[in-house]
Structure 1
Amino acid sequence: MEKRKIKNTDLSIAPINFGGNVFGWTLDEKQSFDILDQFCAEGFNFIDTADTYSWWVNGVGGQSEEIIGKWMKSRGNRNDLVIATKVGSETKEHGYDITKKHILKSVDESLKRLQTDHIDLYYTHFDDNKTPVEETLSAYDEIVKAGKVRYIAASNVSPERLKESFKAAEENSFPKYVALQPHYNLLEREGFEQKYAPLVKEFDLSVFPYWSLAAGFLTGKYRDEADLSKSQRGEGVRKYLNPKGLEVLKALDEISAKHNTTQGAVALAWLLENPLITAPIVSATSESQLETLFAAPKINLTHKDVELLNTASN
């Protein structure tokens, strides 16, 4: 499988980023180990998590990092992987927080849970919109120089604050964000394409979209209200049960039949066709869902396929 370079780094990744939000939530430790083993056996090496996953289970979080840490230690494969985690998200204990104090405390806690001495990619998960960008970047500067973090990235940061961050990094010789994690998929296009794509080009960022399959809607398993009870995430896709959503499913049905693959694999392949996208983030909780991840990079969508999907999703 052809690896892709994370821009402005020496990190090479396979073109699918596994979303670790399911570890400790819909997958227990043993199931998580099995999924991770299968993912890596296929040549994939990029795993995404956050310090607060899965806080919705116990109000605190950390379960996902702990599971990944135990798995890496038991397999002895840390150096074969690119590990991304995040800081700044809200929990029951605290609100959004990207102060220097919080970052310096959180990075050590993440390293301990992950049982590693460094994090490859460390994200500002959510902006608190009040900490000066210079303070946040000075914290990153400190932990990069200490070897705890290799590179930094951003998610859920406004275009304005992103621009401010690059300016501050330039002026103070602080580390610069190398990647962006936006909400982007066939049904959520406007925000990224209009507000962030120009910045991605300007600052030469790699892009790892989250909710790449629109919380599972783009797999085709939710066709009407009765389907919403099929999973814990079902209610989250109710908003897509509309003419546009059904039109996109119709296009995915047609193209997946033509390529003899799944709707989800085609939705991911559509993202991978975009030259701005480096690796979509997607999770899996079963072998069949993993097959969708494995199939996506192998699909060669035609120009006509892409046009059909673009028309349906516009």
Structure 2
Amino acid sequence: MQYRRLGHSGLQLSALSFGAWVTFGQQVGRAQARELLALAYDNGVNFFDNAEIYNHGEAERVMGDVLADLRFPRDSYCVSSKVYFGAVKDPKPTQRGLSRKHVIEACHQALERLRMEHLDLYFCHRPDPDTPIVETVAAMDMLVRQGKVMYWGTSEWPAEAILEAHRVAKENHLAAPTMEQPQYNLLHRERVEVEYASLYDSCGMGTTIWSPLASGVLTGKYNDGIPGDARLSQPGYEWLREEVLGKGDRIAKVRRLQPIADELGVSLTQLAIAWCLLNPHVSTVMLGASKREQLEHNLGALEILPKLDEAVQKRIEQAVA
């Protein structure tokens, strides 16, 4: 495993991490979760990602129970949660958003579900137009000072809002966001590569990127339709299916990438994951898996990095242009 600093902080995260979105508490029960977390940890993964909204808190309960059962030294790994959407169905106004009340109460609730005393990373899952940024920054600063959060950050925030959070933090001597969690893959690049370009040096931001496989599109499994057991076929993810497959040129790009992977003797999945790691501003690539063999295969992406020389990178760019 390789390890990378989280932006300008001193925290080192595994280049590949493991997330619970969609799977834990839904496709993956406790027995499977135990097997997957143990496999990830044994392969050097030291960051496990979660959120209050994932299966309405059940993903955190499953992860917390399993980590407690596995008894990994708490100082050997990092766990995250995210706040904004709420953990209950049809949340009341005070049960969602980034108000001081919800940020702090959601942190306490996440800690209870995860069976932990602190969160290593805590993300504002989306920007909140109804809450002043200074209120959210102050709430996060309070949690940091109390030792309940080690690093806080944002997820899918526009660069302008992130810069405002840093300005407010500096003016008021508060803890500033350390990281952003954006979507990043061969088919979704502009925010990480263009919009955030000035943030990496000026604000010292790191990124914990999600969906390196574009919700499975970059595995090639949707080239001929949607398999019945795929994520995009799951009830409740119609919005994701429309977003992922609604752009007609995506499948064409994936088909152009396949010959490159074939010539390298690797899978399209591993090629797509490894490509994300070529970006020096990517602190960690979050993997998701519901089966042991799937996670083992994805972890193998690290081994193919040396094959992605300049000539191969140029061919990849041409394929997805």
Taking structure 1 as the reference length, the TM-score comes to 0.91
**Which residue is equivalent to 1:284?**
289
Q: Matched residue of 1:110: which SS?
A: helix
- 1:267 partner amino acid: A
Percent identity between the two aligned chains: 28
Which position in structure 1 is the counterpart of 2:91? 93
Show the counterpart of 1:65. 60
What is the SS of the residue equivalent to 2:26? coil
Deviation larger for 195-204 or 67-76: 195-204
Unaligned runs of 5+ in 1: 55-60
Aligned partner of 2:313 in structure 1 is 306
Contact 2:17 2:48 (8 Å CA) reproduced: yes
Tell me if the contact between 1:223 and 1:241 (Cα under 8 Å) persists in the aligned partners.
Answer: no
The answer to whether the 8 A contact 1:251-1:308 is kept is no
- Hey, what does 1:264 align to over in structure 2? 269
Deviation per CA, 1:119-144: give whole Å up to 9, x if none: 10100011111211111111111111
Q: Secondary structure at the match of 2:123?
A: strand
Supply the distance in 1 between the matched residues of 2:220 and 2:84 (Cα, whole angstroms). Answer: 33
In structure 2, what is the equivalent of residue 125 of structure 1? 125
Instruction: Quote the residue 2:78 is aligned against.
Output: 82
Gaps of 5+ in 2: none
What is residue 169 of structure 2 aligned with on the other side?
A: 169
- Name the stretch that deviates more: 256-265 or 207-216: 256-265
Do the aligned partners of residues 291 and 251 (structure 1) sit closer, same or farther apart at CA in structure 2, a change above 3 Å counting? farther
In the other structure, the counterpart of 1:189 is 189
Matches within 5 A, 1:4-23: 4-21=4-21, 22-23=23-24
Pick closer, same or farther for the CA change 1:244–1:305 going to 2, 3 Å.
farther
Does structure 2 retain, via aligned residues, the 8 Å contact 1:87–1:125?
Answer: yes
Q: Which residue of 2 aligns with 1:25?
A: 26
Q: CA deviation at 1:243?
A: 5.9
**8 Å Cα contact 2:57/2:113 also seen in 1:** yes
Q: Which amino acid aligns with 2:101?
A: K
3-state SS of 1:275 partner:
coil
CA distance in 2, matches of 1:115, 1:144: 18
The change in CA–CA distance for 1:194 and 1:5 in structure 2 (over 3 A counts) is closer
Instruction: Give the SS at the match of 1:138.
Output: helix
The alignment status of 1:158 with 2:153, answered yes or no, reads no
Q: Partners of 1:157 and 1:168 in 2: how far apart?
A: 16
Change (3 A) 1:237 1:52: closer
Q: Is the 8 A contact 2:78 2:120 kept in 1?
A: yes
**Selected match of 1:275 from 262, 271, 280:** 280
Q: Assess if the C-alpha contact under 8 Å between 1:248 and 1:309 holds in 2.
A: no
Q: 2:255 aligns with which of 250, 253, 263?
A: 250
Deviation at 1:166, TM superposition (A): 0.6
What TM-score, normalized by structure 2, do the two folds share?
0.89
Instruction: Give distance in 2, aligned partners of 1:145 and 1:242.
Output: 45
The secondary structure found in structure 2 opposite 1:121 is strand
Larger deviation: 244-253 or 264-273? Answer: 244-253
Query: Residue 3 of structure 1: CA displacement?
Result: 1.4
How far apart are the structure 1 equivalents of 2:251 and 2:71?
45
Cα distance in 2, alignment partners of residues 100 and 51 from structure 1: 16
Structure 1 residue 273, shift from structure 2 partner: 0.6
CA distance in 2, matches of 1:289, 1:89: 29
Q: Given residue 169 of structure 1, which amino acid in structure 2 is its aligned partner? A: A
Q: Sort the Cα spacing of 1:16 and 1:128 in 2 relative to 1 into closer, same or farther, 3 A.
A: same
Superposed counterparts of 1:206-245, under 5 Å: 206-225=206-225, 227-234=226-233, 236-237=240-241, 239-240=244-245, 244-245=249-250
- 3-state secondary structure, aligned to 1:47: strand
